[in-house]
Amino acid sequence: MELWASGFNAWGQLNFSGADRVGAQDLQHFIRILEDESIRVLRTSVSATLVLTQRGTRIAGSPDEFIQHCQKESDNAPSAAIAGNEKIAAFIPGGPNQHRLVEYKNFEDAPTILGEFEEMQDIVANQTTFTALAKSGHIYTWGDGRYPNCLGRDIDGNSADVPGIVDDLVELAARGITKISSAGYVTAALTKDNDVYVWGGRAGQKPMLEGLGGTPIPLDLDGEDFFDVAVGMDHMLIVTTGQKLFAVGSGKSRQLGLDVEEAEDWIEVKLPLQEGQRIVGIHAGYKNSFVLVDNTT
C-alpha cells in the first residue's frame, strides 16, 4: 500500500523519510510519501501526521500534545477529537449498548459528562463543532452556537453545546452512514448508497460549495456515485466509485495537488498511478491532502 500527499509541509508533516522537518518545502503535486503492507491515517494536525502501519504507528512532523496522546494510547484514541478552539470531546463506555459523550479541558482532568447516548462509532471535529456518528447511523452535533451552520440542525429551544441529532439525516441513517469528515467550518457524511451530504460555513466567509449552509445538502457531480469524502481546513476531496479524484476549495498551499490558488468548482485530479493500482481512501489535513493507493492484482 502507498500513501500519497500534496500540500503544506512546513513542519515536515509529509516527510516519513527522516529528512529535516522544520522548513520543509510544500509538495506541489501528489507524490508517494510512504509504503507499507497496510497504512491508515489516524490523525493530522497543523504540524504533524500520525499513521498506523503494519509495523506500528509512525509520526511525521512535530506532534502536538493531542497527537502525542493518541500515539501513547493502545488503541490510538479513535474515540476522541480536538476542535480548532482546543476543546476535546470523546465517547466512553456507558450503560449496556450505550456510550457517554464527554468533554475534556485536558486528559489529565476528569471529563465533563454531556450525557448518555446510543453506541457511537466515530467522532470528528472542525473549528467550532463536534460531530459523532452512532452505530445506528444517527449523527449528533454540538459546539459553539455562534456558528449555527456548523451544527446542521435547528438549535431553537435546544442548547448548541448539548449533543443533538441532525434531524435532516435521520432517514439516511436507517439506510446507513459509513463515514463523517469535518474541518474548518464544514462537515460531510458518506452514505452506504454512495451519496455525500454536506453542511456548514460561517457568516462573512465565502461558502466552499454553492448552496452550503446550515441544512445538509447532497453533493451532485454530474450524477456520480461517491466512494469516499474528506474535508480539510478550507478544501475538500471526493473519490467516485469510478475511481475519479476531485478537489475543491483553496489551493494556496497546493493541497489540491494542482497549480491553482483556488478551485471554485470541483476539478478532477489525475494521479500517475500504475496499472493495477486503485485509490482505496482519502484524508484531508490542515492544508494538505492524502490519498491511499493499493494494488488490485
Q: For residue 167, what is the domain's CATH number?
A: 2.40.10.480
With cut-offs at 50, 70 and 90, classify the pLDDT of residue 227.
Answer: very high
Q: Averaged over 183-202, what is the pLDDT?
A: 98
- Residue 272 is predicted with a pLDDT of 94
Chain-centre distance for alpha carbon 143? 17
Residue 251 CB contacts under 8 Å (≥ 6 apart), including other chains: 235, 258, 259, 260, 261, 262, 263
- Residue 20 is predicted with a pLDDT of 58
Q: Averaged over 247-272, what is the pLDDT?
A: 97
With cut-offs at 50, 70 and 90, classify the pLDDT of residue 296.
Answer: confident
**Whether residue 171 sits in one domain with residue 265:** no
**Whether residue 242 sits in one domain with residue 215:** no
**Within a domain: 126:** yes
**Within a domain: 276:** yes
pLDDT for residue 47 is more than 90: yes
- Residue 10 is predicted with a pLDDT of 94
- As a whole number, the mean pLDDT across the chain is 94
**Within a domain: 283:** yes
Count the domains in the chain: 2
Q: Please identify, among 188, 219, 250, the residue that sits at the C-terminal boundary of a domain.
A: 219
- Residue 77 is predicted with a pLDDT of 72
- Residue 21 is predicted with a pLDDT of 62
**Whether residue 197 sits in one domain with residue 143:** yes
**Whether residue 203 sits in one domain with residue 129:** yes
- Residue 157 is predicted with a pLDDT of 67
pLDDT for residue 19 is more than 70: no
pLDDT for residue 253 is more than 90: yes
**Whether residue 215 sits in one domain with residue 241:** no
Q: Averaged over 60-77, what is the pLDDT?
A: 86
Q: Averaged over 250-262, what is the pLDDT?
A: 97
Q: Averaged over 196-200, what is the pLDDT?
A: 98
The percentage of residues in the chain with a pLDDT greater than 90, rounded to a whole number, is 88
Residue 206 CB contacts under 8 Å (≥ 6 apart), including other chains: none
> Whole-prediction pTM value?
0.95
**Within a domain: 150:** yes
CA atoms of 51 and 132, how far apart (whole Å): 21
Residue 145 CB contacts under 8 Å (≥ 6 apart), including other chains: 151, 155, 159, 160, 161
CB 154 within 8 A of CB 95: no
Nine cell digits for residue 111: 471529563
Q: Averaged over 98-114, what is the pLDDT?
A: 92
Q: Averaged over 186-203, what is the pLDDT?
A: 97
- Residue 23 is predicted with a pLDDT of 67
Nine cell digits for residue 71: 500515539
With cut-offs at 50, 70 and 90, classify the pLDDT of residue 180.
Answer: very high
**Whether residue 214 sits in one domain with residue 196:** yes
Q: Averaged over 262-274, what is the pLDDT?
A: 96
**Whether residue 239 sits in one domain with residue 214:** no
Domain around 54: 1-62+227-297
With cut-offs at 50, 70 and 90, classify the pLDDT of residue 78.
Answer: confident
Q: Please identify, among 219, 245, 268, the residue that sits at the C-terminal boundary of a domain.
A: 219
User: Who wins on pLDDT, 78 or 89?
Assistant: 89
Q: Please identify, among 193, 219, 245, the residue that sits at the C-terminal boundary of a domain.
A: 219
The percentage of residues in the chain with a pLDDT greater than 70, rounded to a whole number, is 97
Q: Averaged over 39-55, what is the pLDDT?
A: 95
**Within a domain: 268:** yes
pLDDT for residue 18 is more than 80: no
Q: Averaged over 213-230, what is the pLDDT?
A: 97
**Whether residue 213 sits in one domain with residue 141:** yes
**Within a domain: 100:** no
Element (H, E) at 178: strand 177-183
**Within a domain: 99:** no
**Within a domain: 86:** no
**Whether residue 190 sits in one domain with residue 246:** no
